[in-house]
Amino acid sequence: MIIEEASGGSMDNDKRLIIKIKRNASDAAANELISKYYKEMYAFVYKQTLDTELSLDLTQEIFIIVLKSIHNYDSKKAAFRTWLYKLASNRLIDYYRSKNYKEAQRVEPIEDYEFEDEYDMTISLEYREDFEKVTALVNELDPSSQQIIRLKLFGEYTFQEIALIEMIPESTVKTKYYAALKLIRKGMEVHHG
């Protein structure tokens, strides 16, 4: 199947770059690896923060962590992309636990937005409020459930892939995912009630 070959090729290329980075701290290889995943990581972070500046900062931090800990990466255990998502969602969990985040919980002035019409504005504000509520609820989950929710909802990973990442049975992943979703829905109903 062509698809498998293509994705396999991409994985081999990652391995080649990682070996270069590990062996001789190759900047060119590091840059190539980062630019390959940069947009994807930024999108993953942005979907969970809805804040451009913050997403840029966090994405940069994630890649700094990646380069610092790349010698711990074992290609036999996980594909690089998988490892990257795991680091990224750990960084998000840490961020939301951090003091900075709690201090940054401020309401943004509405004038900053340029809306096409009134209707647009109410949708976005409602979404933002809902988004903050969902984020708050996700942050209350235990780290393992957070990891599962983040990977499934925002990283678009399958249950099977998450089971491999978390090294737990797929049935456990599903159970935790649905339990977490239930909690989030319940929290949202209380919010809208």
Q: Which domains does the chain have, with CATH numbers?
A: 1-106 (1.10.1740.10), 116-193 (1.10.10.10)
> Where do runs of H (alpha helix) occur along 50-169?
52-69, 80-97, 99-104, 118-140, 143-149, 159-166
Q: Is pTM, for the whole model, over 0.75?
A: no
Confidence (pLDDT) at 58? 94
Count, in order, helices (H) and strands (E) of the chain: 9, 0
Q: Which residues of the chain have pLDDT under 50?
A: 1-7, 107-113, 115
The answer to whether 143 touches 166, Cβ cutoff 8 Å, is: no
Confidence (pLDDT) at 175? 94
| Cα–Cα dist 46/50, whole Å | 5
Confidence (pLDDT) at 55? 92
